[in-house]
Amino acid sequence: MAMTHADSVFRALADPTRRQVFERIAAGETHVAALTAGLPISQPAVSQHLATLKGAGLVRERRKGRRVYYRAEPAGFDPLVAWMARAGAVWPERVERLKSVLERMDR
Amino acid sequence: MSEAAEEFTFETELGAPPETVWRALVEPDLRQAWLPEAGEVVAARPPDELTVRCDGDDLVTFTIRPANEGARLTIVHRREAAAPGGLRMAA
């Protein structure tokens, strides 16, 4: 359900290095070697992060020749957006405005 | 991979009679004052159920029931996964 999807997205983005990997992918499709080049961690560590990001639905991979390319999954943030609607003040705020309208109608 | 739509339910008690709440929902000028994000009315079943487009392609259904202090309003907000116009990552 939505709660489970949001959990894995939150966990995936909690790690600062993994978040950095994701941000680079979001900036443009790339591959493991290119990602590893700019980071102070090993390629296996990058691959592990990629597996976590993929598991959380944040990135998708495709094979091109001998390389695997990663790009951001457009729907990846959807569980976060849904969580924000649930946890945030969106509907409570609207209901407060409704109450004001109802009060004005009463006069 | 396709994802199911997500649904979020919010309930509140209002100190106004159900018919007043209905008006605030169904009359465009009144609704605009508290829900400017609402789009077209998709379904209306007077006097207690209304469905509108909201926040783009989402569907929101309002149901009014009588309650001690006036009315109980149930709001079901249904988001379609990966709807265009939702939060987008870099292209």
pLDDT tens digits along A52-103: 999 999 999 999 999 999 999 988 988 887 777 777 778 999 999 999 999 9
Strand A67-72 and strand A30-31: the pairing is antiparallel
What's the mean pLDDT when you consider all of chain B?
85
What whole-number percentage of chain B has pLDDT above 90? 68
Nearest to residue B71, comparing CAs of B24, B4, B2? B24
Residue A79 tokens, joined? 């569980």
* Distance, CA of A66 to CA of A85 (rounded, Å): 42
Phi and psi of A36, rounded to 5°? Answer: -65, -35
- Mean pLDDT within B61-76: 96
- Provide, as residue numbers in chain A, all residues whose Cβ is less than 8 Å from the Cβ of B34: 94, 97-98, 100-101
- Provide, as residue numbers in chain A, all residues whose Cβ is less than 8 Å from the Cβ of B89: 26, 72-74, 76-77
- Mean pLDDT within B78-84: 62
Q: Please give the ipTM for the structure prediction.
A: 0.85
Q: Are A59 and A50 in contact (CB under 8 A)?
A: yes
State whether residue A63 is helix, strand or coil.
strand
DSSP for residue B37: T
- Provide, as residue numbers in chain B, all residues whose Cβ is less than 8 Å from the Cβ of A27: 90
Answer whether residue A2 shows pLDDT above 50. Answer: no
Q: Are B86 and A81 in contact (CB under 8 A)?
A: yes
Residue, of A87 and A40, whose pLDDT is higher: A40
Closest in A80, A82, A91 to B75, CB measured: A91
Q: Are B71 and B49 in contact (CB under 8 A)?
A: no
Query: Does the beta-carbon distance from B89 to A26 stay under 8 Å?
Result: yes
